[in-house]
Amino acid sequence: MELLIATRNPGKLKEIKQALKNLPHKIIDLSQTNIPPDFDILETGKTFKANAILKARGFGKKSQLLTFADDSGLAIDYLNGFPGVNSARFAQKDFKTAMQKILKKLTNIPKEKRLAKFVSVLAIYNPQTKKIHTITGECHGWINFKPKGNHGFGYDPIFLSKDLNKTFGEASLKEKNKISHRAKTLAQLKEYLSQTKIK
């Protein structure tokens, strides 16, 4: 059975394919479908869950394939959860500038008040049954005082992982895929797909 990964983010796609490589499903991405490159789903939801469902259902209906999408972002306690569901929109593809803006907002704020978490909500949609299933994962840490490392993507260089004691930018993909928010949702997805008979 084919499983469509509904994302055009190359960094996210690489992480997902790495994490799901042992599934019996044939993992395909949007470039392997007949969906036009300019087809997109507006993320109008106010929560990660709502946006994940919108994307999974939208691409699933368009492709008629078993489809999953995730919506994820960075939530900073001191900034009342900002940038949250607007993480990608705030960056506008320029994460280097976005990280500097965040660090400026946290000028002179000590480590204990720089608590943050990455959140990932994954939705899987079956166009045959029209059923949808969601999974949530979180990864906790702090906002580092400066970007460190060149690995990963997005806000990874400023997220100091509590589990790794280094930023995601310093971590290898293998290290990140053991403890990240998305790794947690993907592990649950593998379990769900192995235990659920999806017609």
94 included as an active-site residue: no
Name which of 134, 109, 114 is nearest 54 in CA terms: 134
Specify which residues 167 forms β-bridges with: 160
Specify which residues 118 forms β-bridges with: 74, 139
**CA dist 99 to 87, 128, 131, 164, 188, Å?**
11, 42, 38, 20, 30
Classify residue 32 by its DSSP letter. Answer: G
Of 29, 38, 40, 71, the catalytic one is 71
Catalytic residue positions, numbered: 71
